[in-house]
Structure 1
Amino acid sequence: MTAVVLFTIAGFLIGAVIAYVIIYYAIAGGLKESGLVRKAQDVNDRLYDIQLRLDRLEKAKGIED
Protein backbone atom coordinates (compact mmCIF):
# COMPACT_ATOMS: atom_id res chain seq x y z
CA MET A 1 0.00 0.00 0.00
CA THR A 2 2.83 2.39 0.81
CA ALA A 3 4.42 1.69 -2.56
CA VAL A 4 1.18 2.57 -4.33
CA VAL A 5 0.99 5.89 -2.49
CA LEU A 6 4.63 6.69 -3.26
CA PHE A 7 4.24 5.84 -6.94
CA THR A 8 1.08 7.95 -7.10
CA ILE A 9 2.83 10.94 -5.54
CA ALA A 10 5.83 10.45 -7.84
CA GLY A 11 3.51 10.27 -10.83
CA PHE A 12 1.81 13.52 -9.87
CA LEU A 13 5.17 15.24 -9.39
CA ILE A 14 6.49 14.03 -12.73
CA GLY A 15 3.25 15.10 -14.41
CA ALA A 16 3.47 18.53 -12.79
CA VAL A 17 7.04 19.01 -14.01
CA ILE A 18 6.11 17.95 -17.54
CA ALA A 19 3.10 20.30 -17.53
CA TYR A 20 5.26 23.16 -16.25
CA VAL A 21 7.84 22.64 -19.00
CA ILE A 22 5.16 22.46 -21.69
CA ILE A 23 3.44 25.62 -20.45
CA TYR A 24 6.75 27.46 -20.07
CA TYR A 25 7.83 26.72 -23.63
CA ALA A 26 4.37 27.52 -24.97
CA ILE A 27 4.51 30.96 -23.35
CA ALA A 28 8.10 31.57 -24.45
CA GLY A 29 7.28 30.46 -27.99
CA GLY A 30 4.20 32.66 -28.03
CA LEU A 31 6.25 35.68 -27.01
CA LYS A 32 8.81 35.02 -29.72
CA GLU A 33 6.14 34.56 -32.37
CA SER A 34 4.27 37.69 -31.37
CA GLY A 35 7.46 39.67 -31.74
CA LEU A 36 7.39 41.10 -28.22
CA VAL A 37 10.92 39.91 -27.54
CA ARG A 38 12.17 41.43 -30.79
CA LYS A 39 10.37 44.71 -30.08
CA ALA A 40 11.86 44.88 -26.61
CA GLN A 41 15.33 44.33 -28.05
CA ASP A 42 14.74 47.08 -30.63
CA VAL A 43 13.69 49.51 -27.90
CA ASN A 44 16.74 48.54 -25.85
CA ASP A 45 19.00 49.15 -28.87
CA ARG A 46 17.44 52.57 -29.44
CA LEU A 47 17.92 53.53 -25.81
CA TYR A 48 21.55 52.44 -26.01
CA ASP A 49 22.07 54.58 -29.14
CA ILE A 50 20.50 57.58 -27.40
CA GLN A 51 22.77 57.07 -24.40
CA LEU A 52 25.83 56.98 -26.68
CA ARG A 53 24.74 60.21 -28.37
CA LEU A 54 24.23 61.89 -25.01
CA ASP A 55 27.68 60.78 -23.90
CA ARG A 56 29.22 62.23 -27.07
CA LEU A 57 27.36 65.51 -26.56
CA GLU A 58 28.56 65.73 -22.96
CA LYS A 59 32.15 65.12 -24.07
CA ALA A 60 31.85 67.74 -26.81
CA LYS A 61 30.37 70.21 -24.35
CA GLY A 62 33.23 69.51 -21.97
CA ILE A 63 35.77 70.25 -24.70
CA GLU A 64 34.10 73.58 -25.54
CA ASP A 65 34.17 74.73 -21.90
Structure 2
Amino acid sequence: MFNKAEVDLAKPIICTCGSGVTACVVGFAALMCGATQVSVYDGSWSEWGADTQYPVTVDA
Protein backbone atom coordinates (compact mmCIF):
# COMPACT_ATOMS: atom_id res chain seq x y z
CA MET A 1 0.00 0.00 0.00
CA PHE A 2 2.85 2.39 0.74
CA ASN A 3 4.38 1.71 -2.68
CA LYS A 4 1.00 2.08 -4.39
CA ALA A 5 0.47 5.44 -2.66
CA GLU A 6 4.04 6.45 -3.57
CA VAL A 7 5.00 7.00 0.08
CA ASP A 8 8.76 7.51 0.43
CA LEU A 9 9.63 5.41 3.48
CA ALA A 10 13.06 7.08 3.61
CA LYS A 11 11.43 10.39 4.60
CA PRO A 12 9.97 11.19 8.03
CA ILE A 13 6.37 10.00 8.37
CA ILE A 14 3.74 11.43 10.74
CA CYS A 15 0.62 9.29 11.16
CA THR A 16 -2.71 10.69 12.23
CA CYS A 17 -6.36 9.63 12.10
CA GLY A 18 -9.63 10.38 13.87
CA SER A 19 -8.77 9.15 17.35
CA GLY A 20 -5.17 7.90 17.23
CA VAL A 21 -5.80 4.14 17.09
CA THR A 22 -5.55 3.65 13.32
CA ALA A 23 -2.53 5.97 13.20
CA CYS A 24 -0.66 3.53 15.45
CA VAL A 25 -1.45 0.64 13.11
CA VAL A 26 -0.30 2.63 10.06
CA GLY A 27 2.86 3.73 11.87
CA PHE A 28 3.68 0.16 12.87
CA ALA A 29 3.08 -1.03 9.31
CA ALA A 30 5.43 1.67 8.00
CA LEU A 31 8.13 0.50 10.41
CA MET A 32 7.58 -3.10 9.35
CA CYS A 33 8.02 -2.01 5.71
CA GLY A 34 11.37 -0.35 6.40
CA ALA A 35 10.59 3.20 7.50
CA THR A 36 12.89 4.47 10.24
CA GLN A 37 11.44 7.90 11.10
CA VAL A 38 7.82 7.34 12.11
CA SER A 39 5.82 9.48 14.54
CA VAL A 40 2.20 9.22 15.66
CA TYR A 41 0.22 12.35 16.49
CA ASP A 42 -1.74 10.70 19.27
CA GLY A 43 -4.19 13.60 19.65
CA SER A 44 -5.21 13.10 16.04
CA TRP A 45 -8.27 14.83 14.60
CA SER A 46 -10.15 14.66 17.91
CA GLU A 47 -7.65 17.04 19.49
CA TRP A 48 -6.70 19.12 16.44
CA GLY A 49 -10.27 19.79 15.30
CA ALA A 50 -11.43 20.77 18.78
CA ASP A 51 -8.89 23.60 19.16
CA THR A 52 -9.76 26.71 17.15
CA GLN A 53 -6.15 27.96 17.17
CA TYR A 54 -5.12 25.19 14.76
CA PRO A 55 -5.69 25.67 11.03
CA VAL A 56 -8.36 23.61 9.28
CA THR A 57 -9.12 23.59 5.57
CA VAL A 58 -12.49 22.44 4.31
CA ASP A 59 -12.79 21.36 0.68
CA ALA A 60 -16.28 21.63 -0.70
Question: Is the TM value for this pair above 0.5?
Answer: no
Which structure is higher in RCO with an 8 Å CA cutoff and minimum separation 6? 2
Determine which structure has the larger helix proportion and give its number: 1
Larger CA Rg, structure 1 vs 2: 1
Higher strand share: 2
